[in-house]
Amino acid sequence: MRRIHLGTTAAIAAVLLTAACGSESAGSDPATGGGPANATAVEPATAPQYQVINEKRYLDGGSVDLLIANATADQARNAIRNYAQTLSGDIRDFSIRVVHTPDAKTFVCTGHWLRDAEAAKRTTSAVTASAWPHIEINCPEE
C-alpha cells in the first residue's frame, strides 16, 4: 500500500519549482543582498537515514541495497542520490536499490549510476545524458 504525504509532496514541489525558476550569477549571495532580486537560497533535499546492506563492489562497479523502513519514493530518490555521492575512483557503473526490509524481493526505487558515456555503452544501456556522472532512477510504484 502506498502512502501519499500531501504536505511533503507540496513542500518538495515548491523547492523544485524555486530551484528551477530561480537563477543566480556566479559569486552572488542572495542571503546578503547580492545577485538578482528574484534569486532564492535553496537547501538541497536531505537524504533520510538508511542502512547499507548487501553491498558488493567489483573492480569498476557494484551494487548495494539501502534499507529504509516505510520509505516513500521521494525519500528513496534522495537516498540514492546521497549514496551515489560516495562513488569515486575506478567505479564506472553501480546499481543502488532502496528496500523496506533486508530480505525484500521488491524495491521502492532503483538507481543506475554511470560515470560517463563509455560506461553507459559498456553496460548496453541506451542512456544519454547532458552531464556525467548520471543516475537513472526508477520507482515502479509511481
Q: How far apart are the first and last CA of the chain?
A: 12
According to DSSP, the β-strands at 109-114 and 134-138 are antiparallel
Tell me: pLDDT of 102 over 80.
yes
> Using one digit for the tens of pLDDT, what is the confidence trace for 44-59?
568 899 999 999 999 8
Q: What is the pLDDT of residue 44?
A: 53
How long, in residues, is the chain? 142
Taking residues 10-39, what's their average pLDDT?
A: 31
Using only C-alpha atoms, what is the Rg of the chain?
Answer: 17
Whether the model clears a pTM of 0.75, i.e. scores above it, the answer is no
Q: Which residue has the cell 534499507?
A: 67
Q: What is the pLDDT of residue 121?
A: 86
